[in-house]
């Protein structure tokens, strides 16, 4: 029982980190209908910049701030230079552009920092607990608190502010939104900034959680998060979060108990195909 609870807690933490990466993807898909594979590269950049600032200053707050700033910049650059000019082409054209971006940025990280696995020896300023014999480490507490905070903040921005209203209007119909006086290009850039800054936080959390930062750390999340936004319902942010947490828990429990001989990276896709057969619009998506 104790082992089960510990597995559960780890699974939720992994799911929460998946959710923070998937969020950016769901936001971008909702607004531009582009599969933003290069988002995983932004997340890798976040981890590297975070680690670099941390080694220079030994402050995790400065490191997070620096990584968020740089990633927001990288995200907007990808949007302005690659996606925006390709919007009028069929969806596979920006998709290939995105994959090329992912490869190029991964290679840049490898050239800049070397092909090695670097360690991220940060202590996050969160307390650890012991409840009924179960130890919740400070890293776990940090993952819970930070992801809950980020999700709540994003929920507030998208549903309770004028900016969120403009974002929702742009994702429903860009032409009409522009006609109503919304600067839709600015909204798109802001969406990329927000999604990329959250990816930077996710990158730092993964770096600290596994104590590993390496150039290809984005490769598996790049495709797994695609499956997650499909399962959640393309463009649905709550659906993406739900699917991420379910996958985090499912992966951890299946590895821990069932001993399924398939690698856990195929699991997301098997779940995805099962969900699509049952609900082609995704868990929380709407038809049409």
Q: What residue ranges bind another protein (CB under 8 A)? A: 29, 33, 35, 81-82, 85-86, 89, 91-93, 95-97, 99-101, 103-104, 107-108, 111, 223, 226-227, 230, 234, 261-263, 265-266, 269-270, 272-273, 276, 280
Between 92 and 133, name the residue whose CB sits nearer to another protein. 92
Cβ-based nearer residue to another protein, 2 or 92: 92
The least CB distance from residue 261 to another protein, in Å, is 5
- In whole angstroms, the minimum distance from the beta carbon of 247 to another protein comes to 13
| Nearby residues of 140 by Cβ (< 8 Å), 6 or more positions away | 9, 10, 13, 128
Q: Closest separation between CB of residue 131 and another protein, Å? A: 37
- Cβ contact 233:287 at 8 Å: no
- Name the residue nearer to another protein (CB basis): 77 or 165: 77
DSSP, collapsed to helix, strand or coil, labels residue 213 as strand
Inter-CA distances, 169 with 29, 164, 190, 191, Å: 14, 8, 14, 13
Least separation in angstroms between CB 103 and another protein = 4
Going 150 to 156 to 159 to 163, the CA torsion angle's sign is negative
Q: How far is the CB of 274 from another protein (least distance, A)?
A: 10
Cβ 276 to another protein shortest distance, Å: 6
Which lies closer to another protein via its Cβ, residue 56 or residue 100?
100
* Cβ atoms within 10 Å of 55's Cβ, excluding its own: 13
Report in angstroms how near the CB of residue 149 gets to another protein at its nearest.
Answer: 30
Rank residues 61 and 111 by Cβ distance to another protein and give the closer one: 111
Nearer to another protein, 142 or 230 (CB): 230
Cβ within 8 Å of residue 230, ≥6 positions away: 272, 275, 276, 282
What lies within 8 Å, CB to CB, of 155 at 6+ separation is none
Which lies closer to another protein via its Cβ, residue 63 or residue 244? 244
User: Rounded to an integer, what distance in angstroms lies between the CA atom of residue 184 and that of residue 180?
Assistant: 10
Q: What does the chain come to in residues?
A: 288
Element (H, E) at 204: helix 184-210
The CA distance from 130 to 234, in Å, is 39
CA-to-CA distance for 121 and 210, rounded, in angstroms?
10
């Amino acid at each position: 029982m104790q082992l089960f609870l510990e597995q559960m807690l780890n699974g939720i933490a992994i799911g929460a980190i998946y959710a923070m990466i998937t969020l950016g993807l769901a936001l971008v898909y909702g607004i531009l209908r582009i599969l933003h594979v290069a988002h995983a590269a932004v997340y890798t950049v976040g981890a590297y910049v975070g680690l670099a600032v941390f080694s220079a200053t030994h402050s995790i707050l400065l490191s997070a701030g620096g990584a968020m700033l740089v990633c927001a910049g990288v995200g907007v650059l990808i949007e302005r230079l690659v996606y925006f000019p390709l919007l009028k082409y069929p969806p596979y054209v920006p998709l290939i552009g995105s994959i090329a971006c992912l490869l190029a940025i991964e290679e840049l990280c490898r050239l800049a920092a070397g092909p090695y696995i670097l360690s991220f020896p940060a202590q996050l300023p969160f307390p650890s607990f012991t409840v009924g014999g179960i130890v919740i480490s400070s890293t776990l507490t940090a993952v819970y608190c930070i992801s809950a905070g980020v999700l709540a903040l994003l929920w507030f921005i998208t549903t309770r502010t004028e900016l969120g209203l403009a974002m929702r209007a742009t994702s429903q119909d860009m032409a009409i939104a522009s006609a109503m006086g919304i600067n839709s290009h600015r909204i798109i850039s802001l969406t990329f900034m927000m999604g990329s800054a959250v990816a930077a936080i996710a990158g730092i959390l993964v770096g600290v959680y596994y104590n590993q930062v390496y150039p290809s750390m984005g490769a598996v999340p790049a495709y797994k998060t695609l499956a997650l936004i499909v399962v959640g319902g393309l463009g649905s942010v709550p659906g993406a979060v739900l699917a991420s947490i379910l996958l985090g828990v499912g992966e951890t429990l299946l590895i821990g108990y069932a001993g399924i001989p398939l690698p856990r990276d195929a699991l997301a896709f098997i779940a995805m195909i099962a969900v699509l057969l049952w609900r082609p619009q995704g868990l929380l998506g709407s038809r049409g």
